[in-house]
Structure 1
Amino acid sequence: MRILAAMSGGVDSAVATARAVEAGHDVVGVHLALSRAGGTLRAGSRGCCTIEDAMDARRAADALGIPFYVWDFSERFREDVIDDFIAEYRAGRTPNPCMRCNEKIKFAALLERALELGFDAVCTGHYATLVEGEGGLELHRASDAAKDQSYVLGVLTAEQLAHTYFPLGDTPSKELVRAEAEQRGLTVARKPDSHDICFIPDGDTRGWLADKVGAEKGEIVDRAGDVVGSHDGAHAFTVGQRRGLQLGVPAADGKPRFVLEVRPVSNTVVVGPKEALACVRIAGARYSWAGAAPTAPAFDCHVQIRAHSDPVPARAWIADDIVTVEPESPFDGVAPGQTAVLYEGTRVLGQFTIDRTESAVPVEA
Structure 2
Amino acid sequence: MRLPAAEEFDLRKGVYPQEVLDAVETGYVRLTVEDNGLHDHFVLFRNREIVGAFSEFADGRKLYSRQALDHILSLNQEALAEVATYREETLENIKKDYPETFLDPGTTEKFKIGTSVFTGVLSGVKSGDLLDVLVQLERQSLVGCLRVTREVEDFVQEGAILFKETPVAAVLESADSVRLGDEALREIALFFTEGKAYKQENKFVEDYLFFNNASRLKSPVEETISSEKASEDLQRFMALKMVGLERGTLVLNAPCNGTFSFEALLRSAASRNFDGYLWVRSEDARGLMVLGQGKIQAALVMDSSGELMGREALRKIYADMESSGIVDFYQLPSPPHISQPFEPEETDDVLVKRLLGEMGQDLMKEVSLAKEFKKRWKSRRKDQGE
TM-score (norm 2): 0.21
The higher relative CO (CA closer than 8 Å, separation ≥ 6) is in 1
TM-score (norm 1): 0.22
Asked which structure has the greater CA Rg, the reply is: 2
Bigger strand fraction:
2
